Amino acid sequence: MSEEDQGATAPAAPARRRRIPVWQESLLLLGLAIVLALVVKTFLVQAFYIPSGSMEPGLEINDRILVQKVSYWGGGSPERGDVVVFEDPGSWLGAGDATTSTGLLTDVMSRIGLYPTGGHLVKRVIGVAGDTIECCDEQGRLLVNGVPLDSSSFTLNDGRCDGPMVSTCRWSAGPVPEGELFVMGDHRDDSADSSFHLRCGGRKGEPCDDSEAYVPVELVVGKVFARVWPASRFDLLSRPDAFEALEQ
């Protein structure tokens, strides 16, 4: 075989793969990270921080918390005892509660779920659709559908009963409308919650006006499941055992 024939039958050298420039690869990875963060924030987990003392002693000012959204998928809804984050149902936010990020970078990061978000409210669910909440029995405990709720293990309260944001220890709310929640802060005497938005004080024995006391379920972002900062206070949160008595 001639040299010309050998050259004609020799396999062609493989073409070199073109390498993506480092700056383009970095931009691609950044874009994928942002998309992933948006997906996680929208459907799975979102970070928030605590702007006030309304959930003490469990959650303190500037605690960073994680909220999971999976529990309320597929028709699931908040249960009594859940600590939930929700959007303002109408003039509930005070100046401190409305605090959000403080700069352009943190604002961008909060929008994609990489920085804790403010501007929402954090409360504990006390009543769900159909429930009646009354204050209070002879021991100062709330009654949910006539059953006393012993909240002493998870609340902070300087008042004489478990509903001190109302000027009297004799009030009632409910039945809670379908698709609504009655919520309260664990710091009972320092929380602008459902009890705070009851309008009581009419003629003696006249029921309170509870028309502005409820939170629509559709405004709930999700359930708080972890406190992640400061690191010394890291904890996974669960529903207090006291709420089990309400299920019986």
CA angle 114, 118, 119 (to 5 degrees): 135
Alpha helices in the chain (DSSP H): 3-9, 22-43, 104-111
Neighbours of 238 (CB within 10 A): 10
Q: Which amino acid is at 47?
A: A
Using CA atoms, how far residue 145 sits from 21, 25, 56, 128, 214, in Å, is 66, 60, 26, 11, 17
In the set 41, 123, 151, 195, the catalytic residue is 123
In the set 54, 110, 151, 191, the catalytic residue is 54
Spatial separation of the C-alpha atoms in residues 144 and 135, rounded to whole Å: 9
Largest CA distance in the chain: 117
123 is a catalytic site residue? yes
Q: Are 41 and 112 in contact (CB under 8 A)?
A: yes
For residue 231, give the DSSP letter: G
Distance, CA of 58 to chain centre: 14
54 is a catalytic site residue? yes
β-partners of residue 224 are 67
Catalytic residues: 54, 123
